[in-house]
Amino acid sequence: MNSHVKITSRGPADLSRRSFLVGSAATGLVLGYAAVPGLDQAFAAPSNFEPSTWYSIAPDGIVTVTCGKADMGQHIASTMAQMVAEELGANWKDMRVQLASNDPKFNDPVLGAQITGGSWSTMMNFDAMSRAGAAGRIALTDAAAAAMGVPAAELVVRDSVISHPKSKKSMSFADIVKSGKATKTFTPDELKAIKLKTPDQYTLIGVSVPQLDIPSKTNGTAKYGIDVMLPGMVYGRVVTPPVRFGATVKSVDDSAAKKVPGFIKTVVLDDKTGSTSGWVVAVANNYASAKKAADALNIAYDNGPNAKLSSESLLSEAKRLQALDDSGQFFVKDGDTAAAFGTATKVMEAEYTTNINIHAPLEPMNAAAEFKGDILHIYSGNQFATRTGQIAAGAAGIDPKYVVMHQMWLGGGFGRRLDADMMIPAVQAAKAVGKPVKIIYSRENDMTMDYSRPLTYQKVKAGLDADGKLIALNHDVVSAWPTARWGIPDFLTPSVDKKGPLDSFTVNGADFFYTVPNHQVRAIKNEMAHNATPSGQLRSVAPGWTFWAVESMIDEIAHASGKDPALFRIELLDGKGKNDGGAQRLRNTLLAAMGLAGYGTGKLPKGEGMGVACVSSQERASASWTACVAHVAVAPSGEVKVKKLTVATDVGMQVHPDNIRAQVEGAALWGLSLAMYEKATLKDGGIEQTNFDTYTPLRMSQMPEVAVNVIANGDKPTGVGEPAVTVIAPALGNAIFNACGARLRALPITAEAVKAGMKA
């Protein structure tokens, strides 16, 4: 499915593919990259011929930045504006943001598509937004120089004003735009040659400016997908089958639904995109009636091939696959682990598991669809507009170029809104009733039909030499493959054993920065889980489970060889070979966290312990170096109280220090929530948890003290939304071991497991 979606490039930003235009229009100055013809044809929506735009300056001086990223609370729209404003020389008070449509001209300059994830946005847009801002400043300065009759080199740009200190002349951006004289254009080479500011010249980057979206989120005016209202719009309520995937509708009796006032129609979805199975929509003229009608439907299902499956069956299938020598593909294959295990004086093995986890953003999935002439308009908050437009087209049976997606603020994303299932009922119901339809999932729909974080099973085997040195590590990762499900070849990674592509979003993190001479990582697709629980990318994706295994096992090895686990890590982070650079940064971050937490500086009371973990999430090539010292107190009952999480993270450069702290704290608490409070289970092919009474994310009363410490060493900015998620679970597990001797190998951690571990 979806093989028609193609991502053009995942390579580094190649600005030569694009030309930069600065032109003046009657309504204002429009600045942006125009795609070279042909570049974007893979996603093309040629019905749109508006000029490509990252930002515009209106005659009143207001600068409006169009954000091509989904803003789900990471304030990326505001951050884009901040990067533009720095080089443009604009006053922050003049900055505004708007959200882009799915027009390919708003594609990510590095990724070549509209997709938001991976903690990539700031790092991949920093250069493009900076150059866009700088080009605008140069164009405005040239125009001002001509108007004032002074050399451009003598002008100073600050706070949206261009001044000439010698003559005391000045012009505001508004004056220049109104004059219509800013017309300079840039060739790709000129654009590339622009000398950007050096960090010591920054006046906005590194400053915690007020986030532009926040006021609207305190007074109810921010518009999310669920808030969309279209003239003549009616409502659809989804009825989903008892199994997560694979059901078909045998028959629908809507005789009772027809008696509900306002009922319009029952629509059985015919989904050729493979996003949904066995879904029915009750359409009515208001949501309450749609719900009543949906409740009154009598639907007979064939529950399909997954109807007998449970979490237990997925786990035993994972174990079966892992035991096969020829299953899976290699992600890492350094040295010869088999030979090294032969010479090892000590061999250790351990199994680590994680359960199914549900995104559960607080805004349930929703979408509104409207056919207007030839164009299908879809309204939603979505993280992958490029693919979502294609899915909506697939649901409508039309060419994707006729789909326009109107991006809204996202009431939480966390990876859930990379998917497009909500488009199917919206589009097909709108088509069936000939009116705009808004679909709002019930919380029960949202939870039981989540593209969840998959159940994972990992087996790690370690070999130590006589000195207790780690000489060999085999790491097998068995899971559903969330990214393979998209059917986009460019998002897959070639295996090192040339057995075809693998989903690196199931093994990222396992390619750590420790120096282990013989190291192999095998990615094994659990086809049964893949089919029964179509999985998605949940905040932090693979490192959320790979580091649970790696960082727990490293601790186990350290204890087995009688070494302090933190110091053992520092020895392994020697920066040799391919680990040079990254290993040292991670080592320094770990040392910082240790120092800030007072690790090893005093004796803790009985039943308390500190544990460490350090990670290079998200991907090896895009790591934010993150370490955590967790401090816990364990009661004899096995009850764990998290006293404090001390997190340090090396992010290279801080664009917005306060936002980084907010994101890292949120990520750390997500890590805690996944480690201790969130668990979903599959039974009879269906997800058992349906609402927040049984699926229970962390609440305020469960929040420990979190100390976030940011290291900014002047390197390129890295991502901050996800990495801290991944460091918490292993730090907690290691702290619990140090507190009471119980070694945890399954997430979430339960009091029962801790108590059982203490007895063992």
For other proteins, the closer of residues 316 and 694 by Cβ is: 694
One DSSP character per residue, 75-87 reads -HHHHHHHHHHHH
The CA distance from 661 to 483, in Å, is 29
For other proteins, the closer of residues 41 and 216 by Cβ is: 216
For other proteins, the closer of residues 223 and 469 by Cβ is: 223
One DSSP character per residue, 313-357 reads HHHHHHHHHHH-TT-SEEEEEES-HHHHHHH-SEEEEEEEEE-BB
Q: What is the DSSP letter of 197?
A: P
Cβ-proximal residues to 19 (8 Å cutoff; 6+ apart), any chain: 33, 34, 36, 186, 187, 188, 191
Q: Residue 705 Cβ, how far from other proteins at the closest point, in Å?
A: 9
- Outline where DSSP puts E strands in 600-741: 608-615, 625-634, 640-650, 682-683, 686-687, 705-711
Question: Which is nearest to 358 in space by CA: 543, 118, 534, 615?
Answer: 534
For other proteins, the closer of residues 89 and 666 by Cβ is: 666
For other proteins, the closer of residues 564 and 658 by Cβ is: 658
Bridge partner list, 460: 350, 475
Q: Residue 416 Cβ, how far from other proteins at the closest point, in Å?
A: 10
Q: Residue 697 Cβ, how far from other proteins at the closest point, in Å?
A: 6
Q: Where do contacts with other proteins occur on this chain (CB under 8 A)?
A: 72-75, 208, 210-211, 213-224, 226-227, 229, 235, 261, 286-288, 360-364, 409-414, 440, 442-443, 658-659, 662-663, 665-666, 669-670, 673, 691-693, 697-701, 703, 706
The CA distance from 275 to 426, in Å, is 13
Q: Residue 293 Cβ, how far from other proteins at the closest point, in Å?
A: 13
Q: Residue 389 Cβ, how far from other proteins at the closest point, in Å?
A: 23
Q: Residue 114 Cβ, how far from other proteins at the closest point, in Å?
A: 19
Both tokens assigned to 197: 């500011």
CB atoms within 10 A of CB 63: 27
One DSSP character per residue, 711-734 reads E--SS-----SSHHHHHHHHHHHH
> What Cα–Cα distance (Å) separates residue 272 from each residue in 191, 404, 640, 665?
44, 20, 47, 41
For other proteins, the closer of residues 221 and 251 by Cβ is: 221
For other proteins, the closer of residues 136 and 361 by Cβ is: 361
For other proteins, the closer of residues 229 and 338 by Cβ is: 229
Question: Which is nearest to 456 in space by CA: 513, 520, 538, 516?
Answer: 538
For other proteins, the closer of residues 87 and 363 by Cβ is: 363
Residue 88: which H helix or E strand, with range? helix 76-88
462 with 472: CB under 8 angstroms?
Answer: yes
Tell me the three state secondary structure of residue 537: coil
